[in-house]
Every structure is written in C-alpha cells, then in structure tokens.
Amino acid sequence: MAEVVRMPKMSDTMTEGVLAKWHKKVGDKIKSGDVVAEVETDKATMDFESFQEGTLLYIGVEEGQAVPVDAVIAVLGAEGEDYKALLASGGSAPAAKPTETATEQATPPATPATSVAQSAPTVTPESLGATVIRMPLLSDTMTEGVINKWYKKVGDTIKSDDTIADVETDKATMEVTAYAEGTLLYIGVEEGKAAKVNDIIAIVGKPGTDVSPLLQATTSAPATKAETAPVASATAPAAVPAVEEQSGTSSDGRVKASPLARKIAEEKGINLSQVKGSAEGGRIVKKDVETFTPSAAPAAKSASAPAATTTTAPAVYGQESFTEVTVSQMRKTIARRLSESLFTAPHFYLTMSIDMDNAIEARKRINELGTKISFNDIVLKATAVALKKHPKVNSSWLGDKIRYNNHVNIGVAVAVEDGLLVPVVRFADTKSLSTISAEVKEYAQKAKDKKLQPADWEGSTFTISNLGMYGIDQFTAIINPPDACILAVGGISQVPVVKNGQVVPGNVMKVTLSCDHRVVDGATGSEFLLTLKGLLEEPLRLLV
C-alpha cells in the first residue's frame, strides 16, 4: 500500500526545509535506511533517510524548492500502484506538488469565463504529453522570482537534469532544473522580468504541441509580468550591465556563469568577462573563478587613473550607491528568534571587570606543556563551575514554571558566513580544559563546513558569546532562548590598575551577563559573577 513521505522536522527551530538534492528518482527501489535526499534547514544540510520501503512513485518537491515541515515530498508504494487518491486526501500535499497540482489550482479562476471553463477541465499537461514548469517557491518569504538568465530558448531539446534558467529570489540566485525531457515549447517570462510563485515560466513537450489551452487556464501570468516588470528593471540592471557590455562569451552578450561562480567572483572582485569557462558552452563554474589569475588587472587600474589625476577636488564629486544582500534562511531564523527573545524576555545587564594576570600566566604554563588552550576555554570552564554553584542562573523560563537544570550544557556562539551557530559543550563542568578546547575547535570547524547535526546545537542551558578576539572591550548580548542568561566576553586590555596602593600595569577583561528578569534577579546574577571573577582570578581553583 502506498505511503506518503513528509518533510521531517530536523531541528527545534525548523519550520521548513529546502530540498537541496534528490539521490533517488521516480521508479527507483527504496530500502529502509537509504538516503533519498539532502535537506537544507536553517542550521545545516543533512541527509534524509527513508524509514519506509517500496518503489519511489512520486516526487513532489523540486531541488531547490522549500516546503513546510510535514508537507508531502514523495510517495512510496508498489510498482505501478495508483497513488493519486492518496495525494488528494493528504492535507499538506498541495503545497508540495509541482506540476499536476499547480495545474489544478490554476483551473478554478478560469471558471467565470464560460468558453474557458468548459474546456479547461479536459486539458491537462498529461493529456498533451507536456510538462509545465512553474516559478518554484524557494523560500517561505518568496512571493515572486526574477528570471535572471535563460540558458535555453524555444525549440531547444531539454534533458531532465538540464539547468534552464537562473531565478533571483529574496534570498539568493538559484538554478532551475527542468526535471522533464522534450522540446522547450514556451517561455513565459523574459529575462529581467518577474513572475509570481506558481506562475508558468516554461512548458516542455513534444515538438509542435499546441500549448495555448494550458496558457488560457492561467489568467494571472500576464498580469503578474506586467505589474512586476518595473521592480525587476529597477534592481536587475544595476548589478549586471558593466559585465554584460564587456562580455563576449555568448551570442546575446551575457556572461555564462553559475550562481555560485558569480557569488565567488563578486566576493573576490573578479570581472567575469575576463574568466574563461570550462563547462558546457563555455559556462563559468566555481573552479574557473577560484583558479583565475587577473592578468588584465593592471589595464583596469590604468584606465581609472586619469579620472583621479584630472579631478581637482575629488571630495566634491561622488555618486551615491549601495549594495543589497539577500537574506539567508539562517539569518532569517536568527532575526526571528532573537527578536522574540529581546521583545519577550525582560533583559537586564550586569558588567564586571576581572583581573586576568593569573589566568594569562596559567594559560602560558599550560601551553608550554604542549596542551594548547585559549582564554575562551578557560572562561567556559570557569563559567561551568560557577553555574553548578548558582543553579538559578542555569535555568529556563517555561511560562507557568521555571526549570532549574542540574546539568551544565554551555552553548558557544560561533560566527559563520551566513550568521551565527551555537554548538553545545555538554556537561562542561566535568570536562578538562584540554577536552573543552578540542571540542570547541571541532564544533567551530563543523559549523563553518555546515556539518553540524541537530544534536550538536540543541539542549544548551547557558550561552557564552566572546568577541574579545575582535578587539571588543565590552558589549551586551541577546539571550539565546530557552536559556535565562548569556555571558558576553570582551577582550583583555592592558590598563593601569591599583594594587597594594600603587598604580601598576594590569590585564583586565570585562564580562557582561544578560539576564531574563522573569527568572534571575540582580542579586542572583551578581553573586554568579562574583564566583566567576574569583575562579578566573585564581584559575588553580578550576583544578580542584
């Protein structure tokens, strides 16, 4: 009997997932434990294993498309089994079905027109032997997408894994794959124009097929293109013209490059028109940009030099400009969770200065013995020991009750390209400095490689955010829910201090404790900081 496969919830903050890659195709045999797909969440990209067995009868989500948790993404069953009735009864299936569902949704608006209403129900892509390609939903905030580039034209032969276009969303520029074979019969959106999610952007089928009945069933597509064209023209040309005019890599004057190659080139300041592509049709891919040597750079500099020398008052002349960066799923989740934290939990802040002379000496001695540890490792260990003595700080607000944790799991904020991840050092009070150091380094690397798993970032009872390595003396941090507190750690500064009645050079580090006033009072937080201060100023106590 056929069974639906749904988008799993892979983390506590996950509300949707992007189907990054399918490892199976329709008709393949699936065994329990087989990796069928890769799913990108707000935290990482993870393998999705099937816990069901059977033949893959249906794939309902295209690669690169986002769907909510629990939405139908596939159907497994016996070979040749009819699964359409199962899909029709599934509440979340319509949001995930790409072709036939979208056609069914597009049909009802045509019913007011009598002539169309009578013919629309009998015309489906299947009846014409065609596949309708629609603007995919690539993020939960996406309402429309701009066709950045078409790689195929009407009349071209299409294979199922061909990239046919680049679509620019509110998040990023992504490739759209055909997932159909045949001839490209129709292109519904011009380059630089926008289309709403689920609008028809192309149709693939047998040569000579009349696709006008399918287009008549979707009355919203022309209006969408007309309404959104001004928006597309206002944003798209600003980023591309200079490159396009110089490029000679394609017949229409556009540079052929993958979105990833474009992103890397932008970060490195490389003009794509100077890069030779190694992929099919001369298309520029990641390796071409990474191995590119800018031989034409001196010419570019000399071309701009005259303008600088002939301008008598450079400060007077200028041009207003800006760069807009699309929001990643990770950054969007950070914004949502921390906004909820700041505007829900009543924060207050306690700052304390700590003499780090003895900690500096202790770290030097430990590193001389061959075990490399950082000041952050010492702070983490001291914090864990202090939390055991002050369980009210190691707590969570749960609405109608407060949870005081007997275990100490410390989240360590790690900066990555798209934002911030907080892997957790579990039972930190029981671990040695060398163990903590090795664990934090491993988590930091996994975070940057996007290989953290849900078990790595869930279950913190307290969080540390350290910006001292960036030269920050002092700052306040927003509490990471469901923790009741977060410790913001600044750098160690050499300042004059008074010792034994004399002003001498000293090494001082400032820490700021952000507290949820629903759980922690000022006195409670202050007592915790006093204990932490004592441990860091006499680090030998950490070994007792």
Q: Residue 343: enclosing H or E segment and its boundaries?
A: helix 329-344
Residue type, 303: A
User: How open is the CA angle 290-470-412, to the nearest 5 degrees?
Assistant: 90
376 exposure class (CB count in 10 Å sphere: 0-12, 13-18, 19+): middle
For the question of residue 400 being annotated catalytic, the response is no
Tell me the pairing of strands 462-466 and 410-412: parallel
Given the residues 12, 28, 156, 521, select the one marked as catalytic: 521
SS (HEC) of 230-293: HHHHHHHHHHCHHHHHHCCCCCCCCCCECHHHHHHHHHHCCCHHHCCCCCHHHCECHHHHHCCC
Spell out where 45-158 has E strands: 45-49, 54-59, 66-68, 72-77, 131-134, 144-150, 157-158
DSSP lists the bridge partners of residue 35 as 49
Q: Residue 396: enclosing H or E segment and its boundaries?
A: strand 395-397
User: How open is the CA angle 134-161-81, to the nearest 5 degrees?
Assistant: 75
Given the residues 70, 355, 407, 517, select the one marked as catalytic: 517
Q: How far apart are CA 153 and CA 187, in angstroms?
A: 8
For the question of residue 521 being annotated catalytic, the response is yes
155 exposure class (CB count in 10 Å sphere: 0-12, 13-18, 19+): exposed
The catalytic residues are: 517, 521
